[in-house]
Amino acid sequence: MTIYGRIILLLLIVFELAGCNNHPSVGSPKSDTLMSKKINHFDSSQAEKQSLNCYRFVLKRDTILLQLRQSGDSVSGFMSFDNYQKDSSHGEIKGHNKKDTIYVLYNFLSEGMRSVMEIALLKSGSSLIRGIGTMVNNNDTVLYKDHNSISYQDGQKLDLIPCDSFESLKK
């Protein structure tokens, strides 16, 4: 990754973290019409092993959407950051559950550039709280420096929503 690419990635992370101390506002006309996902039909043995959940965080005109498929301790899905007057991003996530926390690698496209960033999500009731922590660049991937120092106190709270209210996250 070039120095220019690293600067853009660092700026994206700073912009994402800058909104962490705000509290979400109720609904947004833009977010209510976004994203509808058709759920694949599974036989009963697969349905017991896999679950599909969808989450949304809204702060004024910024929206985070997450579609999360869980199978045992493995998770995968899609995530989208729709930021007002900032670079938006969307892409795939893959990771695992560890106790009450989900750790994923977010492989995303933003402004034509492919990047990978680690995201931690703490389970809180039916919601997920996005963790905040010091990030380090390891090759072309941005990771938390120390999982034990991730804070969830001021993180963005993604609320569970029906998946049938989404359009496909995969564009």
**pLDDT 10s digit of each residue in the chain, 171 long?**
544 444 444 444 434 444 444 434 334 333 333 333 333 333 444 444 679 999 999 989 999 999 999 999 999 999 999 888 788 899 999 999 999 999 999 999 888 889 999 999 999 999 999 999 999 999 889 999 999 999 999 889 999 999 987 664 434
pLDDT at 1: 53
pLDDT at 49: 61
Domain boundaries, the chain: 3-165
Strands 135-138 and 74-82: unpaired
pLDDT at 110: 83
DSSP class of residue 12? H
pLDDT at 121: 97
**In terms of C-beta density within 10 A (0-12 exposed, 13-18 middle, 19 or more buried), how is residue 65 classed?**
buried
d(CA 167, CA 37): 5
pLDDT at 99: 92
Q: What are the contacts of 22-28 at 24+ separation with CB within 8 A?
A: 22/59, 22/60, 23/59, 24/57, 24/58, 24/59, 24/156, 24/157, 25/58, 25/59, 25/60, 26/58, 27/58, 28/58, 28/60, 28/61, 28/63
pLDDT at 76: 98
